[in-house]
Each structure stands twice: as C-alpha cells, then as structure tokens.
Structure 1
C-alpha cells in the first residue's frame, strides 16, 4: 500500500479494515491508495481491496463544528437515492460511529467514472458541439430526476414548512452578522435592499417539498466519458428537504455566460441558453416553474451573501485578501445577474 500525498493521520486503515471485515466486504490488503482531489474541504481517498474499488469520504483533520453531522446527512441522502434513477454516487456503507476512526464519521462509495467539465473537456466532447449542447440539457434532466424522489423517506431532514418564507430573513441576518468582524466596512452591494424587497413581494405562495442538492452547478456534476450523460451529481454537503426549484434557480444563477464568463463554474463552450435549460426541466417535471425567475434571483441573493462572508473575513485578516476581493466581485456579479432575472 502506498499513501503518497495522503496524511497518514487522515485514514486509520487498520480500523477501516476491521470495520469493512465486520460488514462482510471483500478483505485483503489496501491497494492503489490515492487522494481524490476536488473543490471540497472533506478528505476523499480512493483505494482497492479484495478486487473492489472504493472512495472513502470523511471530514478534514481539523473539522468544523458540524462536519460529522454534515457527513451523516450526506450518507443518509445517498442511501435514500441508492436504488433510484438519480445520478448520485452509489453508497456502499456508512460509519456514523465517531469512535471507529478517531472522532470522524465516514462513508464508502463506489468510484464515479466521469470528468468535471469545468476543468477541461476530453474527446469526444471537446470536438463535438452537439455533445456539449446536450451536456447542458442533461444537467437539467439529472435535476428533474432528483426532483421526482419521494422525500418522505427522509422525514426529519430539513424543515420544508415555511422554507420559502425563511429565506430572505435568514440570509439578511447572515449578512448582518458579518458586522461583528473587525475591519469589514459593511455590505457595499448595489441592489441589496431592492433585491430583498422584490423577493419578499414576489414569493411563491406554495411549493411541493422535495429532496434538494443545495449547491447544484456545473462544477458539481461529473459527465460520462462516452457522451453527454451526467454520470453523477457530487458534493452533497448542502443537501436537505426543501423546494427543489431552488436547485434549478441555482443552476441558472451560476450558468456560464455565452460570452465566456461564469459566476461559479468555468466556461464550457457551446452550452444551451438558460431558457433551454428551463424548457428541458419543464418537459420532465410536474412542478410549476412559472416563478423560476424568482428562484434564480433567490439563488443569486443567497450565494452572493455566502461569498460576501469570505470577503468580510478577509477584511478582518481571517482569509487571503485576493480571495476576498475576488469573491466580493463575484457577489456583485451575482446581484447584477439577479437584476437581469428581476
């Protein structure tokens, strides 16, 4: 076994082996151990044992206060999705007992065979405009499939009652909390009050609860190597039961601009316009998307406030200034995009 570039304290392979043996999973030495890189603070390690391949996911060595709770929620959602058509990583088993691996919960999933389009395109995708166009529609198809899942299997996850009514007060309160950081001058965000007021005045009166990914954008999708299909939706840290149309709004809010710009995801040439994304979702879902602009504005509003938090911490010397400046600029872009949806 090799552990190159893996902190030896991150994974207790002796404890992992005993736990796997107890579940009756294939035994033997751990082989081809390697880190799985990506835009997550959690630790992911790929390995093989007994002829089977796995990816282990656990919190960072210096976990946040809710890291274990987040991993438990992820594992619960992936277990509920395991036997559905949703393109999610297939859960093998989860260990919610913190004592097994030094205070960290963890789970095993099957490796995803796919690629992140925001990091570059392989062939045939790079050379085929039709495949690239269809990739965007497949993102809508995968989301519509998630929206069909019966959320009652996840009772107790999230608080769907009053979900929409809580959004603006919740995130305005978050923004107000940044004032406690020394050096932060306050939210210099043009259109902040206007956007909050518009959201409150135009809020949909009702919605049908469902399973939400919570951070549905292009960089959190893995695409199949042989075509435009979404191989897996990844990074389920923000999953909950709420209004699935916010996931669609999030996709629109972060969708790369045709001119090469992008809010979150990198540029992928030849993707469909946001109107085509909505049309594709609508054709596959029985949800009322007539207020989709409202959800896109809410996504811009919420994500912009989240990113402004890093800017506030940077002003207080708690994050790199260049990162804070970049994310503040992204916040301004998101609020400008919100105005276009309004």
Structure 2
C-alpha cells in the first residue's frame, strides 16, 4: 500500500488553493464531496502527481508544467487524458479517468483527475524484504504488463502515428544526436562512434506499437497481496514507436546505475530470485508471443545511448547554472561509461 514514505506535503513550488480546487471538483465530479486535502507523491518529476483525500473517496491529480513538443500545455494534458481513457477502455491497468481541466487558473496548470488505485509501490528494483519466489513473480508481472501495452492497437490511443517502428528509431536517433551536440562538454570517442553507427544500422524489422517510454518498477502499482499490476503510472512520454526499444529502456537497470534510481548491477540473480536479463527477456517473449528477439544489441545500444544523452543534458545544465550539485560528477561518469558500454555491444557487429 502507499505509505507515508511515498508521500510528502505539497512542495512550495507546486502548492495550490485546495479550497478552490474542491469547489471546482464539486461542480465537475458528481461523486466528489468536500473538504479536500492534498499530498504530493515523491519522485513525481517535472509533471507532479498528487493524492487528493476527500470523504469516502481518494483521487489522483496529475498536472502538466511542461508541454509536449509542438503543442500547448492544454493540448498536452488533454492528449494524456485521451490516452489514459483509451487504455482504460481497452482494459489496461490504469486509474479510471474522471476529468480533465485545461484551465490553468484553477491550480496554476492544466491537470487531469483519475481514481486512486490502492496497492503496493516499489521504488527499489532489488525488492528488499521479499523472498526469491515473490521477486520472480513481481518481475514476471512487469514483463506481462509491458507486453500488454505493446499489444494495444496504436490507432485507439489518440497519439500521433507519425510512422512508428524503424521510422521512430531513425527520428529518435536524429533528435538525440542534436540534443547531445547542443549539450556536449567533452569529446567522448564512443559517443562519436555511436552517432555514426546507430543511424546506419537500424534493423529492417518495422514493428510499430504503443511505447510507455519509462516503464520501471517505480512506475507500477501492484495488487496489495498478489503479484499483479493494477495501475501503470507516468504516461508523459508515451509515443507510438517500437516495442523493442521500449523493452530495452525497461531493461536499463540491468545495465546502468543512475544516481537516485537504483540498479540491478552486481546482484546475485539466482539467490535473489530476480530474473537476469536473458530470463526477463524470455518472460517478455512468452507474454508477447515472440519466439526470439533479433538485433537485441542494437536496441540495447539505442537505449544506452539515450541514457547517455539525457545524463549529458544534466551535466550541461549543472555546469551552466554554476550550482555544481554533488551528483554532477556522477552523471558525467554515467555519460562516458554508458557510451563505452553501448559501443562495446555493437563494435563486433549486431547479433
């Protein structure tokens, strides 16, 4: 269950008038009853999430502080709500959508409201306190829900199709190339090699699917007692893209240690019960009906390259504002080590 460790008082930069919100919801949600109090979920990022308490019923509020590229904040929040509504109608585990508000005068930003789904929330991918069987079941459930996301018909999502599959990969590599060039602070030989190799080696398999884009244990809510996902969170970066790129992004804890996000590196997979990467991929294939995954090293290299570019952006911003946070050196090390790992995967040719 969500505990006090998962919640914090609403942070100063995100505070809003709870009475004003309660009055608004009383007009737009038939079952809502004031008064209302709010808490903020920890680690909810740029677009924060809040737990709203009201008599007899709790809700989740997600607000948007940054728009999606090329559209307004109001259009962005509506796109998120349309996607979640479509997924709910398709039977995927998401909170029941209740209302979307594009008017930023209510709480200072556009937002949407979902039913709160109670359950267990795991922030540490090592799953401390569980036995080997329980850990294995949790990871199998994550593989299953990722496969179910990829099985959704892209046409029902309301997201721009824009050509998924290989087209998505080529566009993403080009965008990441541009982003990296804008933020580069040091010359890293492995990044230069990847920037040349990746666009020239996109696999021919042109499979298109919905991508969550950030699926990890922290973004899942599990049933209070069963190894079953009851809600998938954080759909902000969902796009129509390539399922194997999404799987590779999901597998990053096996490959990378990112400050504050946990890692599966260095653990005993047999003793812990957590599946190693090959076994986790096999579970995904079983749930998705795939016999095998070709060109896996390409998809891993793409996902690692993506991590390196994002880490480089953090390094660049930290250097520019002069604050030099304690993690800045750690992120700088991530860029170089992850780039080297990605290049080592593909240096001898893709599998």
Q: Into which bin does the TM-score normalised by the smaller protein fall?
A: 0.7 to 0.9
2:298 alignment partner in structure 1: 294
Q: Distance in 1 between matches of 2:170 and 2:125?
A: 39
Q: Helix, strand or coil: the match of 1:211? A: strand
Q: Is residue 67–residue 76 contact of structure 2 (8 Å, CA) maintained in 1?
A: no
Deviation at 1:69, TM superposition (A): 4.7
Moved more, 132-141 or 93-102: 93-102
1:279 alignment partner in structure 2: 282
- TM-score, normalised by the number of residues in structure 1: 0.82
1:220 alignment partner in structure 2: 219
Could you give the per-residue CA deviations for residues 41-99 of structure 1, whole angstroms, max 9, x where no partner exists? 23322223342111111135xx5786555433322221111123323333222113334
Q: Distance in 2 between matches of 1:27 and 1:170?
A: 43
2:195 alignment partner in structure 1: 196
Gaps (5+ residues) in structure 1? 180-185
Q: Is residue 34–residue 45 contact of structure 1 (8 Å, CA) maintained in 2?
A: yes
Q: Helix, strand or coil: the match of 1:33? A: strand
Q: Helix, strand or coil: the match of 2:123? A: helix
Q: Is residue 16–residue 101 contact of structure 1 (8 Å, CA) maintained in 2?
A: yes
Moved more, 113-122 or 271-280: 113-122
Q: Distance in 2 between matches of 1:8 and 1:192?
A: 36
Correspondence 1:169 to 2:164: no
The counterpart of 1:305, out of the listed 305, 309, 312, is 309
Q: Is residue 87–residue 157 contact of structure 2 (8 Å, CA) maintained in 1?
A: no
- TM-score, normalised by the number of residues in structure 2: 0.80
Correspondence 1:129 to 2:132: yes
2:324 alignment partner in structure 1: 320
Deviation at 1:9, TM superposition (A): 7.2
Q: Distance in 1 between matches of 2:96 and 2:135?
A: 25
Correspondence 1:332 to 2:332: no
Q: Helix, strand or coil: the match of 1:322? A: coil
Alpha carbons of structure 1 residues 267 and 226: separation in structure 2 relative to 1, 3 Å = farther
Q: How many residues align?
A: 325
Correspondence 1:90 to 2:96: yes
Q: Distance in 2 between matches of 1:176 and 1:24?
A: 47
Moved more, 128-137 or 23-32: 23-32
Alpha carbons of structure 1 residues 8 and 201: separation in structure 2 relative to 1, 3 Å = closer
Deviation at 1:190, TM superposition (A): 4.1
Q: Is residue 249–residue 293 contact of structure 1 (8 Å, CA) maintained in 2?
A: no
Could you give the per-residue CA deviations for residues 196-255 of structure 1, whole angstroms, max 9, x where no partner exists? 333233211242322111112333233333233233322211111111221101012x12
Correspondence 1:255 to 2:219: no
Q: Helix, strand or coil: the match of 2:327? A: helix
Alpha carbons of structure 1 residues 225 and 340: separation in structure 2 relative to 1, 3 Å = farther
Could you give the per-residue CA deviations for residues 5-27 of structure 1, whole angstroms, max 9, x where no partner exists? 55497333344334323334224
Alpha carbons of structure 1 residues 173 and 10: separation in structure 2 relative to 1, 3 Å = same
Gaps (5+ residues) in structure 2? 1-7, 265-271, 347-351
Q: Is residue 315–residue 321 contact of structure 1 (8 Å, CA) maintained in 2?
A: no
Q: Distance in 1 between matches of 2:57 and 2:235?
A: 24
Alpha carbons of structure 1 residues 114 and 189: separation in structure 2 relative to 1, 3 Å = farther
Q: Helix, strand or coil: the match of 1:316? A: helix
Q: Distance in 1 between matches of 2:179 and 2:97?
A: 33
**RMSD (Å) for aligned C-alpha atoms:** 3.0
